[in-house]
Amino acid sequence: MTVTAGLNVSEQVSAAERVDVPRHVAVIMDGNGRWAVKRGLPRTEGHRAGVTSLRRTVRHCSDRGVQFLTLFSFSSENWNRPAAEVGFLMGLLERFVRRDLAEIHRQNVRVTMIGEREGLDKRILGLIEEGEALTCDNTGMTLVVAFNYGGRNEIARAIRRIAGEVEAGRLKAEDVTEARIAQYLDTATLPDPDLIIRTSGEQRLSNFLLWQAAYAEFYFPDVHWPDFDECALEQAFAAYAARDRRFGGLSAKVAR
């Protein structure tokens, strides 16, 4: 991409060749720890740098007209990390909401959380719900924060609720269709992700959006999350634009 002097980053991108952006982008923000260790820093510094990257990604996706951005911020398995690291991540989330919510609101971004709410620290859940309430009428991009999120946990919770409905006689076994299951997931009101990006070179889902990823396109840049910038995001969009999504059918070109 040619960088045009005197323009801010968004303007530089608009001056460059723009491709159509995916409607729903989901990101597994990975590699914070390795980014820090490579620099002789504690892993927590990587998480701190990761917040800058997160802020940048939200702004750029919103500017570029992405309609839904889902960020994997803490998995249901991340509780298995040392207590000090978990505590640091919780503090970081808390500070992020306190410092950045007003700016996110100003950007007309609507915030919503997916993941298990039960058992979460009341203060953290309260902050997240405050963010949801403040931004619920915003009409710009929807920022979906996957927090205490695991795909299997989400599916199990959905099935438990459906089983409860069947037990109570409100649903019949034959009502349990794909569409019905989707309605009971945390993502009930969201479209499936079109593009899933995982930074740091790892190529796995780690329990992210298992149901929803059925026909997502995957993109695995080699950079760690703190180094993932607007240019890297544009490269991901360009790679996505070159994909041929067939959904089990035939390519639009062949079908004609």
**Nearest alpha carbon to residue 195 among 213, 216, 209:** 216
Alpha-carbon distance values, 225 to 63, 205, 231 (Å): 20, 15, 13
Q: Out of 20, 32, 78, 148, pick the active-site residue.
A: 78
Q: Is 30 a catalytic residue?
A: yes
29 binds ligand IPE (CB under 6 A): yes
CA dihedral of residues 133, 115, 143, 34 (deg, nearest 10): 130
**How many CB atoms neighbour CB 107 within 10 A?**
16
Q: How far is the CB of 204 from ligand IPE (least distance, A)?
A: 6
Structural contact between residues 196 and 208, judged by C-beta atoms closer than 8 angstroms: yes
Taking the least distance from each CB to ligand IPE, the nearer of 57 and 73 is 73
72 binds, among Mg ion, ligand IPE, none (CB under 5 to 8 A by kind): ligand IPE
CB of 137 to ligand IPE, least distance (A): 28
Of residues 93 and 162, the one with the C-beta less far from ligand IPE: 93
Binds ligand IPE by CB under 6 A, chosen from 62, 70, 73, 135 = 73
Q: What is the smallest separation between the CB atom of 248 and ligand IPE, expressed in angstroms?
A: 28
Residue type (1 letter), 241: A
Which one of ligand IPE, Mg ion, none interacts with residue 221, CB within 5 to 8 A by kind? none
Q: Does 209 bind ligand IPE (CB under 6 A)?
A: no
CA 74 to chain centre: 11
Cα separation of 238 and 233, whole Å?
9
Residue 144 is a binding residue for ligand IPE (CB under 6 A): no
Contacts of 250 (CB under 8 A, 6+ apart): none
Binding mask 148-187 for ligand IPE (x = CB under 6 A): ----------------------------------------
Active site residue 222: no
> Residue 76 binds which one of Mg ion, ligand IPE, none, with CB within 5 to 8 A depending on kind?
none
Nearer to ligand IPE, 131 or 226 (CB): 226
Sequence-distant (≥ 6) Cβ neighbours of residue 231 within 8 angstroms: 1
3-state class (DSSP) for residue 89: helix
Residue 256 DSSP SS3: coil
Q: Could you report how far apart the first and last alpha carbons of the chain are, in Å?
A: 34
- State the nearest-atom distance from the C-beta of 119 to Mg ion, in Å: 23
Cα(103)–Cα(10) distance, integer angstroms? 17
Site for ligand IPE (CB under 6 A): which residue of 14, 78, 183, 235?
78
Residues in contact with Mg ion by the rule CB under 5 A: 30
200 binds ligand IPE per the rule CB under 6 A: yes
Q: Which residues are catalytic?
A: 30, 78
